[in-house]
Amino acid sequence: MGAITETERAQVRAGSPVGTRYDTAINRESAAERLAQRAQKVVEQADAPKARTREQDDEQDSGFGQAIKDAIFGTRRRQGMLETMAKQTTRTVGTKLGNQIVRGILGGIFGGKR
């Protein structure tokens, strides 16, 4: 295959459904610009305040009243008594209800005691 002339190239492009699509230059974001934006985001995140540690939380919220409140209602890291009791009650009710449903279904299938 050899080189073609400009008139032949124009004829091929005119006959092609995508020929004119590539004639216009589009200035899109370059990879370097995208990488620079990512680097800027990383720098901005690094400037954000650091996450607090448990010790820092405890120092800020020290006191007997706070300890009781944390024990009853819990903290972000630990469950409180109310949440623990609610979960256990939900489990118990779900287990009892599931057992009754299964007994009813199996009793209906196998006849059970009459």
- pTM of the predicted model over 0.95: no
pLDDT at 14 over 70: yes
Which SS3 state, helix, strand or coil, does residue 87 take? helix
**For the chain, what's the residue count?**
114
Q: Are 91 and 99 in contact (CB under 8 A)?
A: no
- How far lies 98's CA from each of 88, 90, 106, 111, in Å? 15, 12, 12, 19
What percent of the chain has a predicted confidence (pLDDT) above 70?
88
Q: Where are the domains of the chain?
A: 76-114
CA 103 to chain centre: 40
Q: What is the pLDDT of residues 54-98, one digit of tens each?
A: 677 666 656 677 778 888 888 888 888 999 999 999 999 999 999
pLDDT greater than 60 at residue 32: yes
